[in-house]
Amino acid sequence: MSGGRRRKLRLSKIYSFACCKASFEGDHHSQIGGKGYSRVVFCNEPDSFVEDGVKNFADNSVRSTKYTLATFFPKSLFEQFRRAANFYFLVTGTLAFTKLAPYTAVSAILPLIIVIGATMVKEGIEDLCRKKQDIEVNNRRVKVHKADGIFEYTAWKNVRVGNIVKVEKDEFFPADLLLLSSSYDDAVCYVETMNLDGETNLKLKQGLEVTSSLQEDLHFLNFKATVKCEDPNANLYSFVGSMDFEEKNNALSPQQLLLRDSKLRNTDYIFGAVIFTGHDTKVIQNSTDPPSKRSRIEKKMDRVIYFLFCILFLMAFVGSIFFGIATKDDFQNGLMKRWYLTPDDSTVFFDPKRPAAAALFHCLTALMLYGFFIPISLYVSIEIVKVLQSIFINQDIHMYYREADKPARARTSNLNEELGQVDTILSDKTGTLTCNSMEFIKCSIAGVAYGRGATEVEKAMDRRKGSPSIHEHDIESEADNIRGSLDKRALIKGFNFADERITNGNWVNEPHADVIQKFFRLLVVCHTAIPEVDEETGNVSYEAESPDEAAFVIAARELGFEFYKRGQTSLLTYELDPVSCKKVERKYKLLNCLEFNSSRKRMSVIVEDEEGKILLLCKGADSIMFERLAKNGREFEEKTMEHVHEYADAGLRTLILAYRELDAEEYKEFDNKFSMAKNLVSADQDILIEEVSEKIEKNLILLGATAVEDKLQDGVPECIDKLARAGIKIWVLTGDKMETAINIGFACSLLRQGMKQIIIHLDSPEIQALEKDGDKMAIAKASRQSVLLQISDGAAQLTAYRGSSHQAFALIIDGKSLAYALEDNMKNMFLELAIRCASVICCRSSPKQKAMVTRLVKSGARKTTLAIGDGANDVGMLQEADIGVGISGVEGMQLCLVILQLHNSGIWNGYFWCMDIGVTGGSHL
């Protein structure tokens, strides 16, 4: 899509459900100017801060290093002398300069200097690598308004609060910006927050209407505005402020804030005013001072040193007692028994008149003389081994990902030895065990199941049954039929569908061809994707907010329904005409879009076709959609539900597709109410919009269901099987529903044949009845009791099978139950049950719950824990673990870099690896 075409497209029409104006009512805007809301920014006047005596804000350079030139020696020396042996040799080295020393001072100090120096050099080199990364980030370039409407490239570190910057497509935001305008007329832009929350789905941001017309460089020649907002804080998802522009006060919300390290996508450019810079930005505010971490081996070695020192001191003390006694009796009848010590020439060391002092000094001498008992070279050996281990990790061919040409990278070597002590692995699922790359693989249309492909879960189910895989035979047969066509074209990302009844236009011969046509027409129209046309090749790609949505549009295109252009209020498609069997152009007038969110669990579009029919097209979760069907729209309900359950058992994500035709009067009434709700400036705006949408999304006619697969990473089942056989416990923490998580567990060998499952959930009829009544206190009490009873029952099962060494158990718990299981009076019981199980799956768990579970395992079991994740949304879990492994791959590399930055800035308190997604499948994890 060209820039000119973009500027004619007002995306606020497409996202009419989500784009809402900020309101001064019912929020924190009344606190602006008070404590915590005192920041004042003069846009396009950065010099005004100094002239007017306003606070001189932080510059935009960031530092993620552990040391500076001023702090390197004191901090590094402190780290070195925390080691007991080093401190001992420091003391003995100091004493070596006295007459007590039985050897020269150089022989005592030189080894210590070499050991300490080598370790400090290693620390310095690792910190220098971080410094280079900081320099690279701080010297990134962005266009900044200088004067007279001219924008010039400036290094990020020179960006100041109040500057107007121009960020272009696929560039990162250099600071926290207030969105003023974009290449779209209504100041809308797409933002990828992968570096912040790990999600590749695009987020929509929209500037204020009063600044949306500032689309050219020269428009900022005389631009002036004053922003009053909250002070710097760590909350990524809140922003309170107001902007005085053209003598009007406009409320600001998080919808206008673009966070540092987010990327501009699917938008030619944006103009923004710098609000927070450097360490005031929200992503850096989330970091803390780097903790000083030490491995368990190093701590244990200190305890060994203490033990050796006790023996050493005992030897010196006993020897000194005998020396004192002998010194006291040295003169006998005027003769010196130990004449060779010449006690007559000694002032104190061998003075028979002062035996106590002689014994004390002898003790100090003995401590130095027996110093070889403390192995100073041990620390040198360990440091050398750590460095060599890091080199071996980086060069290990088994951890090299050929497709991306990326090796594993051990970013630091401080905790290498912990990798051999891992007792429990806690892993994210999506993007870690699975690829987070959705593929359209099956569908159910008019009660008929289409799609002959087999999922990883189905193959695993066949293997569990101990029979040859029927699905694999089907795949081989199908592959023979279509291999010729596959050789002629490249594999299509997001599309893994094979069924001769549907492909190549054969659907026109199916009994319900009209329903199939409506099904794919819904897929090609009901979405918010934007087509991108390659001007050289003419190929169309799609920018979508989720991989699921992109897979649907691609599948529709491959099956004869191509979406190729979006206008201001229209959609243009090429559709296969069942009569002429040729592609014809269709135009749909876009009237409204009711966007998907977590509470609605569905999205709808209302369009008018070329025949003047007004259609409501809806897709959503089965739990929501089936109850909205009309009496005459349930013809295929039974078969579709059966297929949906089969797809869920196969580990697929499903959506129900339905539609209805609206008459003109009904739509007019809805549109009036919807427009009123959308334009209402009130804290209840979202609720009113949802109520209006609720009334129109009913009496639907069922068309069918889609099924997409999030495929497993290569080699994951084999890797998990090897880890389990090694006695390492594996926990999977996922946001998926329980059925999908269980099936993925079987597919990746986390759950095995013959393994008994202990399932803890809150889906009992009693609790569901209480939820309908809405009594929160009663629900919480009953839920707590239910979880406690289920944990007790699970523990009883384990006790009953205690004598059977061949019986393995798996614990599966949902997010609601987990919230109660992690309470103080119950978490120890839950942990005791969990650590006795071979595998644990926590379903529907939030990021906070992931972190709490990891902390519980680490502190309660007192075993080494390793957490694996693919993005910054897993930071909570990874920072709680002893060891953190970051997966880098198609979408995770930037996340690894940001996690590294958090690690260096202190959010990370565990060891960090950055490796490629293929590595999880290897045996060298």
Question: Do 144 and 154 meet the contact criterion of CB atoms below 8 Å apart?
Answer: yes
If asked whether residues 504 and 581 sit together in one domain, one would say yes
Between 613 and 5, the higher pLDDT residue? 613
User: Per-residue pLDDT tens for 363-405?
Assistant: 888 888 887 777 767 767 777 888 888 888 888 887 777 776 7
Distance CA 109, CA 99 (A): 15
Distance CA 423, CA 864 (A): 5
Distance CA 289, CA 291 (A): 6
Per the annotation, the verdict on 428 as an active-site residue is yes
* Per-residue confidence (pLDDT) for residue 801, from 0 to 100: 79
Question: What's the distance, Cα to Cα, between the start and end of the chain in Å?
Answer: 43
Quote the tokens at residue 246: 């053209």
If asked whether residues 236 and 307 sit together in one domain, one would say no
User: Per-residue pLDDT tens for 215-273?
Assistant: 898 888 888 999 988 888 877 777 888 899 888 888 888 889 999 888 898 788 999 99
If asked whether residues 518 and 660 sit together in one domain, one would say yes
If asked whether residues 148 and 256 sit together in one domain, one would say yes
- Bind-site residues: 428-430, 549, 596, 619, 653, 734-736, 844, 850, 870, 873-874
Domain assignment of residue 922, yes or no: no
Domain assignment of residue 596, yes or no: yes
Question: Do 290 and 322 meet the contact criterion of CB atoms below 8 Å apart?
Answer: no
Is residue 918 pLDDT above 60, yes or no? no
* Per-residue confidence (pLDDT) for residue 481, from 0 to 100: 46
If asked whether residues 441 and 559 sit together in one domain, one would say yes
Is residue 727 pLDDT above 70, yes or no? yes
If asked whether residues 848 and 889 sit together in one domain, one would say yes
Question: Do 236 and 260 meet the contact criterion of CB atoms below 8 Å apart?
Answer: no
| Confidence grade of residue 334 (pLDDT, cut at 50, 70, 90) | low
Is residue 598 pLDDT above 50, yes or no? yes
At residue 798, the 3 state secondary structure works out as: helix
DSSP class per residue in 348-408 = STT-TT-HHHHHHHHHHHHHHHTGGGS-THHHHHHHHHHHHHHHHHHH-GGG-BTTTTB--
* Per-residue confidence (pLDDT) for residue 534, from 0 to 100: 74
Domain assignment of residue 921, yes or no: no
* Per-residue confidence (pLDDT) for residue 690, from 0 to 100: 81
Q: What is the CATH number of the domain that holds 252?
A: 2.70.150.10
* Domain final residue pick, 690, 709, 728: 709
Q: Element (H or E) spanning 425, and its range? A: strand 422-428
If asked whether residues 448 and 589 sit together in one domain, one would say yes
Segment among 31-35, 805-809, 855-859 with least mean pLDDT = 31-35
How are beta strands 225-229 and 39-43 bridged, if at all?
antiparallel
* Per-residue confidence (pLDDT) for residue 568, from 0 to 100: 63
Distance CA 172, CA 161 (A): 17
Q: What is the CATH number of the domain that holds 718?
A: 3.40.50.1000
Domain residue limits at 607: 437-461+493-709
* Per-residue confidence (pLDDT) for residue 890, from 0 to 100: 47
Among the residues of 702-748, which ranges form H helices? Answer: 716-725, 738-747
User: Per-residue pLDDT tens for 447-497?
Assistant: 999 988 777 667 766 665 655 544 444 444 444 444 444 343 446 777 888
Domain assignment of residue 486, yes or no: no
* Per-residue confidence (pLDDT) for residue 616, from 0 to 100: 93
* Domain final residue pick, 140, 169, 184: 140
Domain assignment of residue 1, yes or no: no
Closest CA relative to residue 891, chosen from 920, 868, 876, 870? 870
* Per-residue confidence (pLDDT) for residue 5, from 0 to 100: 42
If asked whether residues 741 and 681 sit together in one domain, one would say no
Q: Which of 127, 197, 428, 916 is catalytic?
A: 428
Distance CA 10, CA 181 (A): 12
pLDDT (average), residues 164-182: 92
Work out how many domains the chain is built from and give that number.
Answer: 5
Distance CA 174, CA 160 (A): 10
* Domain final residue pick, 648, 675, 709: 709
If asked whether residues 523 and 442 sit together in one domain, one would say yes
If asked whether residues 533 and 608 sit together in one domain, one would say yes
If asked whether residues 447 and 378 sit together in one domain, one would say no
Domain assignment of residue 451, yes or no: yes
If asked whether residues 625 and 645 sit together in one domain, one would say yes
- Bind-site residues for Mg(2+): 428, 430, 870, 874
Domain assignment of residue 579, yes or no: yes
Between 688 and 33, the higher pLDDT residue? 688
Is residue 677 pLDDT above 90, yes or no? no
pLDDT (average), residues 197-225: 81
Mean pLDDT of the chain: 78
- Bind-site residues for ATP: 428-430, 549, 596, 619, 653, 734-736, 844, 850, 873-874
User: Per-residue pLDDT tens for 854-905?
Assistant: 889 888 888 888 888 775 556 667 777 878 777 765 444 433 333 333 333 3
Domain assignment of residue 271, yes or no: yes
DSSP class per residue in 528-542 = --EEEE-TTT--EEE
